[in-house]
Amino acid sequence: MELLSDAFVYLCAAVIAVPIANRLGLGSVLGYLIAGVVIGPVLGIVGSETTEVQHFAEFGVVMMLFLVGLELQPAVLWKMRKQLIGLGGLQVVGTTAVFAGIGLVFGLEWQGALALGMILALSSTAIVLQTLNEKGWLKTQGGQSSFSVLLTQDIAVIPMLAVLPLLAVGHVAGNGAEHSDGHGHGGHEGGGAHGGEALAALPGWAQALVIFAVIIAIIIAGRHLLRPVFRFIAEAHLREIFTATALLLVIGIALLMDFVGLSPALGTFLAGVVLSDSDYRHELESDIEPFKGLLLGLFFLTVGAGIDFNLLFGAPITIFGLALGLMAVKFALLFGLGTLFRLDGPDRWLFALGLAQAGEFAFVLFGFASSSGALDQSLLRTMTLVVAISMLLTPALFILYEKVIAPRASAKSDREADVIDSKGRVVIVGMGRFGQIISRLLLTSGYDVVILDHDPQTVENLSKVGIKTFYGDATRPDLLHTAGVGDVDLFIAAIDDRDKQTLVVEHVAKTYPKVKILARARDRHHVYELENVGAHIAEREVFEGALALGRQALVELGGHPFRARTKTREFRNHDFAMLDDLRENYNDGGVDKSYIDAMRAHAETLFDIMRVDRGEERHDRTERGWNPPPKGDATLGLEPEGEETRG
């Protein structure tokens, strides 16, 4: 029963805290961390078991890397090799060196300093990847660089595990058992070899051989064995068995890697990559995803719950000072590396701020370092707390990035905005999927168009296909001015970011009242929003496309193509009428009761309109002209000498 009550407490904390944190824009990671602090040190509901739970929850990281691997085809990984080795390698080596140096200055033995340096060089894969994913930043340059570095770090854990025992200087672990890391590395007090128990007895070269063989085996089995197995299981149509198989695979690989002393996360990552171009990729993803999410959440909870408040309140300034110092140093190094690797303004900030904390692997390695005697206990307790605090502060850094730095940094990007040397009758800002179609229509129709986009990649790609695009941030008034917005007839705003879009439209409407503004809107409410700030025409981005597909659906369902067309037009007309009718309602009180009532009424009218030809009233609003007149003589009521029929 204790298990259930613990589970209840943990789940309860998560269910309460995470939605609130999300609503406040803090992200789920911070929500979990705060929930952990509340149930741990603050309320004291959970306590001693957190370390054990944490070891269990670290499995979430393993699953996360499996999922990341699934997303990465081998070809993509190969393309990243420069970043992995260059950026990632430099980060690990550089940060290790700097922290080791600092350790020496503070009087640590060189062995201890090196161990500490290596441990602090790692960042939190769990927090960073989860956040990047949640915010949709993983595909940005900053996100990609962060990912490369995290991956390199995970690989670097292997040599670190090998080296740590060599750095033992005789701090014999007093309570090593407590720090045993659940990965099978515990208990090698001063042992000379890395690897799991099973291999400890083998000589170095044999261990290397076994490790190599295991990796090859994973790749070969993944390619040739797993697919038929998954097909067999899938054909059984037992969903839970498929899920079980997926879990079995991940756990099995984790155990295997553990057995040979490699990072389980790395092993499952490898398995993920191998399976990334298989047919079952998406099913595997959706099966593992919830487990990963919950375990990671649990992990963050335990980090929060595991904070030693006595130690913290004993020397708050020292602890926070160390944590902030740690982050400042890592940030400075990362920022420098970002500059070296030509990361642009906001991307460099995302990269440097995001990775500035120490990671969960630190807990594992601290345990290992403690049991192998590389670091002494009091330092370890302090540093464990420092690492936890730095992780706790990370979501705040992401918020800082999102709310303060990203909006400004993009304006102060290293790349100077292009000098706009051509003029046209039209300025288009935003060359995403939407803006591109408009620009092509106008350009091929022979109009001069000045195009602005703030993504260097897009600008480059478009210039490759011969569409001249200027680089620049459309939210900058001076840039809009040099683009000649004052002299054009049309300003077309097609920026993806909803708020930016509204902002730009508002600025242009106020500054250049003579320019006609056409704007792309996210949805009906955005139409009203844009109209209210001065857009003359706002078009919902997916509306017409959805109608077109819907019309084809009617045809596929057996409808006559022309009736499908008519019905779709009828629907469209009604929707536009509704757009007009609801405008005042929305502007008065937003989505309130009267708005919803009006919408309901409209929905009912629409039902009536669309249903007409199912009933008796053949001669009604729909398809008016194409409905036959009532049965009988259509010319009834005409003069006696009237014609036979119409036409």
CB of 612 to other proteins, least distance (A): 15
CB of 643 to other proteins, least distance (A): 5
| Identity of the residue, 598 or 634, whose beta carbon is nearer to other proteins in the bound complex | 634
CA distance 114 to 372: 14
Q: Determine contact, residues 127/29, Cβ cutoff 8 Å.
A: yes
| Identity of the residue, 136 or 625, whose beta carbon is nearer to other proteins in the bound complex | 625
| Identity of the residue, 314 or 630, whose beta carbon is nearer to other proteins in the bound complex | 630
Q: Are strands 537-540 and 516-521 parallel, antiparallel or unpaired?
A: parallel
Q: By CB under 8 A, what part of segment 611-640 binds other proteins?
A: 619, 624-626, 629-630, 634-639
Binding residue (CB under 8 A) for other proteins from 381, 569, 583, 618: 569
| Identity of the residue, 556 or 616, whose beta carbon is nearer to other proteins in the bound complex | 616
CB of 569 to other proteins, least distance (A): 6
CB of 620 to other proteins, least distance (A): 11
Q: Tell me the CB-side half-sphere exposure of residue 180, using CA atoms within 13 A.
A: 12
Q: Which two tokens stand for residue 132?
A: 């990047």
| Identity of the residue, 169 or 634, whose beta carbon is nearer to other proteins in the bound complex | 634
Binding residue (CB under 8 A) for other proteins from 466, 558, 640, 647: 647
**37: CB partners within 8 A, 6+ apart:** 304, 305, 307, 392
Beta-sheet strands, E only, within 430-543: 449-453, 470-471, 490-493, 516-521, 537-540
CB of 439 to other proteins, least distance (A): 22
Q: Which two tokens stand for residue 119?
A: 């441990």
- Site membership for other proteins, residue 498 (CB under 8 A): no
| Identity of the residue, 569 or 602, whose beta carbon is nearer to other proteins in the bound complex | 569
CB of 517 to other proteins, least distance (A): 22
| Identity of the residue, 377 or 627, whose beta carbon is nearer to other proteins in the bound complex | 627
| Identity of the residue, 286 or 635, whose beta carbon is nearer to other proteins in the bound complex | 635
Q: Name residue, tokens 């300034």.
A: 317
Q: What angle do CA 562, 565, 568 make, to 5 degrees?
A: 150
Q: Determine contact, residues 137/350, Cβ cutoff 8 Å.
A: yes
Tell me the longest C-alpha to C-alpha distance in the chain: 121
Residue 127 identity: I
Q: By CB under 8 A, what part of segment 571-590 binds other proteins?
A: 573
Q: Tell me the CB-side half-sphere exposure of residue 333, using CA atoms within 13 A.
A: 27
CB of 633 to other proteins, least distance (A): 9
**Under rule CB under 8 A, how many of the chain's residues touch other proteins?**
18
CA distance 181 to 372: 12
CB of 573 to other proteins, least distance (A): 7
CB of 266 to other proteins, least distance (A): 59
- Tally Cβ neighbours within 10 Å of residue 74: 13
Contact pattern for other proteins over residues 259 through 278, marking x by CB under 8 A: --------------------
CA distance 349 to 580: 44
| Identity of the residue, 2 or 641, whose beta carbon is nearer to other proteins in the bound complex | 641
Q: Determine contact, residues 534/516, Cβ cutoff 8 Å.
A: no
Helix axes 28-37, 281-305, angle to 10 degrees: 40
Q: Which residues bind other proteins (CB under 8 A)?
A: 569, 573, 619, 624-626, 629-630, 634-639, 642-643, 646-647
